[in-house]
């Protein structure tokens, strides 16, 4: 099956620093990638939809200047959490689709901001 790799799986950073998370589709070209955030015991929340070569579409309430998404190629999208604060601590997951609706998820990145 299709594989999506997400890196890093865990990151701990100091408040005020920026953190970059990578999402790669390893064996297919992803037409669209999605970024989600999940707080403990809550459901996945879509943050933004990213298409290669164009600006990401952010969901309402998600600050685009804080959560920078770059989708430079059909196999790589990055999420940068800028000036991270403790309330940004969460589980961030990416997914990719090659069309047809089925999603392939990365393993997730657990961010802890001290």
Partner 1 sequence: RKEVEQDPGPFNVPEGATVAFNCTYSNSASQSFFWYRQDCRKEPKLLMSVYSSGNEDGRFTAQLNRASQYISLLIRDSKLSDSATYLCVVNVAWDKIIFGKGTRLHILP
47 binds partner 1 (CB under 8 A): no
Alpha-carbon span 15 to 87, nearest angstrom: 10
- Select the residue interacting with partner 1 from 19, 24, 32, 47 (CB under 8 A): 32
Region from 19-27, 65-73, 78-86, 92-100 binding partner 1, contact rule CB under 8 A: 92-100
Maximum C-alpha span of the chain: 40
Alpha-carbon span 81 to 49, nearest angstrom: 16
* Structure-block tokens of residue 30: 């992803």
Site of interaction with partner 1 (CB under 8 A): 31-32, 34, 43-44, 46, 49, 51, 91, 93, 97, 99-103, 105-108, 110
């Amino acid at each position: 099956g299709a594989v999506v790799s997400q890196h890093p799986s865990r990151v701990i950073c100091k408040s005020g620093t920026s953190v970059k998370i990578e999402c790669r589709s390893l064996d297919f070209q992803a037409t669209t990638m999605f970024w989600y955030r999940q707080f403990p015991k809550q459901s996945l929340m879509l943050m933004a939809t990213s298409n290669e070569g164009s600006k990401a579409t952010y969901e309402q309430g998600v600050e685009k200047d804080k959560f920078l998404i770059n989708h430079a190629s059909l196999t790589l999208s990055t999420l940068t959490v800028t000036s991270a604060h403790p309330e940004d601590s969460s589980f961030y997951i990416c997914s990719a689709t090659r069309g047809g609706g089925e999603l392939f998820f990365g393993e997730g990145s657990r961010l802890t901001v001290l």
